[in-house]
Amino acid sequence: MLIAGDNANAIKLYNEEKFEESFKALLPIAERGDPEAQSYVGLMFSLGQGVNRNIELAIKWLTEAANQGRGDAAHNLGTLYLTCEPDFPINREIAVKWYKTAKSLGFVVTQDSWYDQL
């Protein structure tokens, strides 16, 4: 059962750059299916924040979050598929799919014309 303050406390730790503590707090929430926590856990795996960098686990968690409507997770997936060589093979087609998904979910971090060029 998710306690309302769990996410807020874990995200506060993240914003304070207490990554190991934040990861330990977020992982059980993510495992219970919370998309916000899943997005953070995926981001932390992708950047190696509080945990060893693991692109495959990053993609697993970000995909779960994106499939539950997290545009930030979809955007981060697009970035991973476009920029993570040599750790992960670049796949422009999949990157474009995730960037367009992010835009459709309302997560827009640049001008619309950038997305239209994909």
Q: Which residues of the chain register pLDDT less than 70? A: 1-5, 110-118
pLDDT of res. 2? 44
How many Å apart are CA 43 and CA 88, to the nearest integer?
15
Query: pLDDT tens digit string along 81-105?
Result: 988 878 778 999 999 999 989 988 9
The verdict on domain 4-106 having CATH code 2.120.10.30 is: no
pLDDT of res. 116? 63
Asked if residue 35 has a cis previous peptide bond (ω within 30° of 0), the answer is: no
Are the C-beta atoms of residues 50 and 19 closer than 8 Å to each other? Answer: yes
Domain locations along the chain: 4-106
pLDDT of res. 12? 93
How many Å apart are CA 110 and CA 118, to the nearest integer?
13
pTM for the full predicted model: 0.87
